[in-house]
Amino acid sequence: MRILIIEDEVTLSKTLSDGLKEFGYQNDVAGNIKDAEYYLGIRNYDLVLLDWMLPDGNGIDMIAKLKSKAPKTAVIVLSARDDRNSEIEALKAGADDYVRKPFDFEVLTTRIEAKLRFGGSNIIEIDDLIINPEEEKIIYEGAEIELK
């Protein structure tokens, strides 16, 4: 399972990345929207951990774009905003879950497991080979292989 961490706080993103690797999750880290869009353009993710406030914009605004490209990708918003309205706004924007900072890592990983249990993608990635049964595509070394 592959997770994209979109978090600008370096210490937190490193802690998340290292901790998720210990649980067997492959992950990439983006510190801003621009880098996140790059990763989303080249890889498929089963889940995205998305910070609300990023240096180049609002993470919530990314959800609709992300869901239009990959509707089965689960999104968990991580935010220091602890008010009820922010949580409602994130969920209405398409987030699958909302976790307030600071959070307990074990609770977060349990939520991740729950989201992946009820969704996730069927995409298979092995080195330079990507097999996407939903879109009936095979991509090898960045080039799509025509299926007959």
Find the DSSP H helices in the chain: 10-22, 33-42, 62-69, 84-92, 105-117
Domain count, the chain: 1
**pLDDT, position 75:** 97
**pLDDT, position 125:** 77
CATH of the domain at 61: 3.40.50.2300
Tens digit of pLDDT for each residue in 36-49?
A: 999 999 999 999 99
**pLDDT, position 9:** 97
Q: What single-letter DSSP state applies at residue 102?
A: S
**1-5: average pLDDT:** 95
**Domain with 98 in it:** 2-145
Dihedral of CA atoms 37, 43, 30, 117 in degrees, nearest 10, equals 110
User: Is pLDDT above 80 for 4?
Assistant: yes
Tokens of 148: 């007959």
